Amino acid sequence: MSDQNTTYYEVYPERVLDFLNYSSTIRGKSDSTIEAYGYDLGLLFKFLKMHRRLVPNDILFDDILIHDIDDDFLRKITLSEIYAFLSYMDKKRKNSAYARARKTACIKTFFKYLSVKARILDKDPTLELERPKIKKRNPVYLTLDESLKLLRSMDKENINFKRDYCILTLFLNCGMRLSELVSIRISKIKDDTLSVIGKGNKERVVYLNHACISSINEYMTIRSKVDVKDEYKDYLFLSTHRRPINKRSVEVLVKKHVQGAGLLDEKYSPHKLRHTAATLMYKHGKVDIRSLQMILGHENVSTTQIYTHVDNESLREAVKANPLSEENE
């Protein structure tokens, strides 16, 4: 695990640390997933201590310590307690169905580890644990005209114009994840392909079109002249401090340029630009769903199917074009 996760060794129970290490080193989960696992399990154990009245009534939820949770505590956890936890997350902490579904998946994975790998449980209490139903949400995206407006409205006199233009171009054309973009290495760019580390620490190939290649080449005229430490030399995107740009900085610059273009919807985050790329490819490029799955790096095609909503208008027009549509007039 990375240095940012060393706090796990100070606050989490031993079994959680073992699970996080197993998930990282054996299952190859990313740092962000490991961090989410730790956070979600931390909430569960804080709740259980409160629920079992093992802490003072006046203690703040976030101040509850969980480092002392042992195997005996874990063996006594029941399915009803886990449902009580999910209800608490819903009612008291206003978690969405999506957030509760993520916690459910984490808890099931943890208890499977305890019963199958660590073998400290005779019975897994989460075998019958059901995942909260999530309403299907259509992705929020920019239209083709809005995407063009975003790129054309950028200030060419800004010192970071070529860098930011390249970032937005890659988001809008390739559908990259934010984590993939900030970790791009110059040495991984070969002609019209780019290798990135995707979800689950899996390497995948991103194909670059003319706009992407052109924007990278333009940015490199500036990037190649920047004097940086040897450890940072291979990173494509740098901050003004000559370090690899971080996720938060990219989120801020995306918001700034979206607002600068007069597209004030606060939902247009880097992830929504990924949605935009996918939608434009599906709608205008006539990319089939399986190809789009590969382009986006989705493990399951069911994840990619959210983009089929964009064809509703063409389906409507197809029905209207039926020669019998005017028969009753």
Catalytic annotation, residues: 177, 199, 271, 274, 298, 307
Inter-residue contact 184 to 194 (CB < 8 Å): yes
Q: Which residues contact 87 (CB under 8 A, 6 or more apart)?
A: none
β-strand partners of 310: none
Sign of the CA dihedral 227, 229, 232, 237? Answer: negative
The conformation of residue 329, written as its DSSP 8-state character, comes to -
In angstroms, rounded to a whole number, what is the distance separating the alpha carbons of residues 180 and 184? Answer: 6
In angstroms, rounded to a whole number, what is the distance separating the alpha carbons of residues 256 and 195? Answer: 28
> For residues 160-186, b (16+ Cβ closer than 10 Å) or e, as one string?
bebbbbbbbbbbbbbbbbbbbbbbbee
Name which of 249, 168, 176, 255 is nearest 215 in CA terms: 168
Inter-residue contact 82 to 37 (CB < 8 Å): no
